[in-house]
A and B are shown apart, each in its own frame.
Chain A
Amino acid sequence: MNVVVCVKQIPDPATPGKLDPNTKTLVREGKLILDDSDAYGVEMALQLADKAGGGEVTLVSMAPNEEVGGLRTALAMGAAKAILVSDESLKGADALTTAKVLAAAIKRAEPDLVIAATESTDGYTGTTPVQVAELLGLPAVTFAKHVEIDGSTVKVDRQTEAGYDEVECPLPALVTVTAGVVEPRYPSFKGIMAAKGKPVDTLKVGDLGIEAPAVGQQVVDVAAAEERQAGEIVVDEGDAHERVVAFLEQLKVI
């Protein structure tokens, strides 16, 4: 079974995101890393391909400056190869533009299953994967907290407001996974060494046979959110619970 995993390479979330004051698009400088959210997808894909007894896991990513930092991490986890689309014309792309590019790249790998995360850590629109599915004419099951392959059917426990739904869908299909669907492995030393030699096919938009899609939305203003002020801080000396009770009393919730 061939699986494609969409992996986003993002700035380290430990350093807060910034928007360029002039272009009002995300500042993407410095090293990019594998989005944590996508580590679950990579692990899921590796486990499913393994259980199916064959097939390859291919990574697909769109990122500026031919960035491969995050791809190397996912390759070190065990993916076989990667397709990277990197093109100056994609600067400031919105989710639909991203989806068009990813869809065209995914097509090349002819997957039975496409896996993405429910949402990325930096942009978190959570719409890209479904847009990809629609552009590829694939059914999709989102918010998977458990995934199994049974012959040519994918069986998913899909998170819902009330609990979860068991959903079945014939392959080929796209599935988005939530954090916690599986526990991502740490790349081994051997894996890290092997990753250095694995193929990364770096493409421009033109190589995909599509035109640079137009972006239909624009950020017009950026401001810091209103901050809440810190209140009183009390160090517990054995009687802090009295303060909590008094506070609740004052608010008339007890």
Chain B
Amino acid sequence: MAFDKVWVLAEVADGKPTGTTLELLTKAREIGGAVEAWTWGGEGSAVAATLGAYGATKVYDTGDLGGALPGVPVAAAMAAQVQGGNAPTAILAATSYDGRDIAGRLSAKLDVGVLTNVVGLSDDGTSEHAVFGGTTVVKAAFTGNPPYLFLVRPKSFAAEESGGGAAEVTTVEVPDAGATNAAKIVQRHVEERIGPKLDEAAVVVSGGRGLGEAEKFSMIEELAKLLKGAPGASRAIVDAGWVPYSYQVGQTGKTVKPTVYIACGISGATQHMVGMKGAKNIVAINKDQEAPIFSIADLGIVGDVHKVLPKVIEALQSRA
């Protein structure tokens, strides 16, 4: 089965399509005939050139959503197109906040399932899924009628330009979704981060519960800064409130694939490893020789982070 037409949910951050959006467009080109993108909030025209450069010929934009969370109105607009006869074979979205909201709504509206945690997709219609915290790969296929909905994990595919021209932007109507569309954003809060983005950095230094206390995370930040990298974290210390959620690496956090990942005081739960085991090189520092993280580390240091890290930092400072 080939995909005639593939729609990609294009997410925009800081005026640019997200990295995952470009990955999805590249994949869509590979498996599909025509590739078209969806944006919302009137962002379509600003990103039409980039979306086109990665293979989209058309961009559907919903226009301003009036502060509504995108899940309901975007799914309503997409469903209206599908029901009006403009239907794709497949719809690709990222496993992101809005991606899941939109895919979930659309799935119920169109009465089609969603294949989730997708890490591979081929033009015979089968998808690959990382399940059980990434320890098992499952191949799946839809048995019903299209459109087929796929929620894809970030960094599953490489992004490559196609050299296409700017995509043509069409503003589509958002049908009245009534009471379901009542959730409104009243205030946005942006957490400041310095240095490269966690999911784009060449070096990621992450800390876990083994740091012992919130103040010790400064060691992680210091080392990350010295290596021009980004600090990351395990969920244990995010839940404990030591660092914001945006630092979290793993199943429910970010997927990272840096040149080097340095895990400090992190045990290596499957849910953490699924987010970082794609790193080219892994260094782990943990005082417990039996910690699972050592099973995937290229260099494992059995030691106390409070002893090893200050010395690494000092050594790097003296080189600077």
- A residues bordering B, Cβ < 8 Å? 16-17, 19, 24, 94-97, 99, 118-119, 124-131, 133-135, 137-143, 145, 158-170, 173, 178-180, 214-225, 227-236, 238, 240-245, 247-248, 251, 253-254
What 16 additional pairs, Cβ within 8 angstroms, besides A96-B114, A228-B282? A16-B270, A126-B104, A141-B183, A142-B100, A161-B13, A162-B190, A215-B143, A220-B139, A221-B139, A225-B136, A233-B297, A233-B300, A236-B302, A243-B299, A245-B316, A247-B283
The reply on B41 being an interface residue by CB < 8 A is no
Q: Which residues of B contact A17 (CB under 8 A)?
A: 131-132, 136
Q: Which residues of A contact B100 (CB under 8 A)?
A: 126-127, 130, 142
Stretch from B1-9, B28-36, B214-222, B303-311 forming part of the interface with A: B303-311
Q: Which residues of A contact B315 (CB under 8 A)?
A: 241-242, 245
Count chain B residues whose beta carbon lies closer than 8 angstroms to a beta carbon of A. Answer: 94
A-B contact pairs, 7 of them (CB 8 A): A139-B179, A142-B100, A162-B246, A214-B144, A233-B294, A235-B303, A244-B308
Nearest-Cβ distance from residue A211 to partner chain B, whole angstroms = 13
The reply on B65 being an interface residue by CB < 8 A is no
CB distance B299 to A253 under 8 Å? no
Q: Which residues of A contact B139 (CB under 8 A)?
A: 219-223
CB distance B108 to A134 under 8 Å? yes
Contact with A along B185-213 (1 / 0, CB 8 A): 11111110000000000110000000000
Partner of A217, one of B115, B180, B308: B115
CB distance A19 to B138 under 8 Å? yes
Asked whether A134 and B299 contact (CB < 8 A) given A163-B190, A180-B239, A217-B143, the answer is no
Partner of A96, one of B13, B113, B262: B113
- B residues bordering A, Cβ < 8 Å? 13, 69, 71-72, 75, 95-97, 100-101, 103-105, 107-109, 111-117, 126, 130-132, 134-144, 151, 178-191, 202-203, 227, 229, 235, 238-239, 241, 244-246, 251-252, 259-260, 262, 270, 277, 281-283, 285, 289, 294-304, 307-308, 311-312, 315-316, 319
Nearest-Cβ distance from residue B224 to partner chain A, whole angstroms = 12
A-B pairs, top 3 by smallest CB distance, nearest first, are A236-B303, A130-B104, A216-B144
Partner of A133, one of B180, B259, B307: B180
Q: Which residues of B contact A145 (CB under 8 A)?
A: 245
CB distance B107 to A236 under 8 Å? no
Nearest-Cβ distance from residue A241 to partner chain B, whole angstroms = 4
- Our count of residue pairs bridging A and B at CB distance below 8 angstroms stands at 266
Partner of B101, one of A95, A138, A142, A180: A142
Q: Which residues of B contact A128 (CB under 8 A)?
A: 104
CB distance A230 to B295 under 8 Å? yes
Mostly, the B contact residues are: mixed
Q: Which residues of A contact B303 (CB under 8 A)?
A: 235-236, 240
Nearest-Cβ distance from residue B117 to partner chain A, whole angstroms = 7
Partner of B260, one of A235, A236, A251: A251
Q: Which residues of B contact A125 (CB under 8 A)?
A: 114, 116-117, 151
Q: Which residue, B113, B126, B190, B244, has most C-beta atoms of chain A within 10 A?
A: B113
Closest B residue to A143 by beta carbon equals: B97
CB distance A99 to B108 under 8 Å? yes
Partner of A233, one of B185, B246, B289: B289
Partner of B304, one of A24, A173, A236: A236
Q: Which residues of A contact B140 (CB under 8 A)?
A: 217-220
Nearest-Cβ distance from residue B74 to partner chain A, whole angstroms = 12
Q: Which residues of A contact B281 (CB under 8 A)?
A: 247, 251
Asked whether A254 and B316 contact (CB < 8 A) given A140-B183, A217-B143, A228-B296, the answer is yes
CA distance A118 to B95 in the complex (A): 12
CB distance A161 to B246 under 8 Å? yes
Closest A residue to B197 by beta carbon equals: A161
Asked whether A230 and B69 contact (CB < 8 A) given A95-B113, A225-B130, the answer is no
Nearest-Cβ distance from residue B212 to partner chain A, whole angstroms = 17
Q: Which residues of B contact A131 (CB under 8 A)?
A: 104-105, 107-108
Partner of B246, one of A163, A221, A238: A163
Nearest-Cβ distance from residue B35 to partner chain A, whole angstroms = 23
Q: Which residues of B contact A230 (CB under 8 A)?
A: 294-297, 300
CB distance B227 to A254 under 8 Å? yes
Q: Which residues of A contact B203 (CB under 8 A)?
A: 253
Partner of B189, one of A129, A164, A248: A164
Nearest-Cβ distance from residue A102 to partner chain B, whole angstroms = 12
CB distance A248 to B260 under 8 Å? yes
CB distance A127 to B151 under 8 Å? yes
Nearest-Cβ distance from residue B281 to partner chain A, whole angstroms = 6
Closest B residue to A247 by beta carbon equals: B299
Nearest-Cβ distance from residue B8 to partner chain A, whole angstroms = 18
CA distance A53 to B55 in the complex (A): 56
Q: Which residues of A contact B190 (CB under 8 A)?
A: 162-163
CA distance A170 to B184 in the complex (A): 9
Q: Which residues of A contact B299 (CB under 8 A)?
A: 231-232, 234, 243-244, 247
CB distance A127 to B180 under 8 Å? no
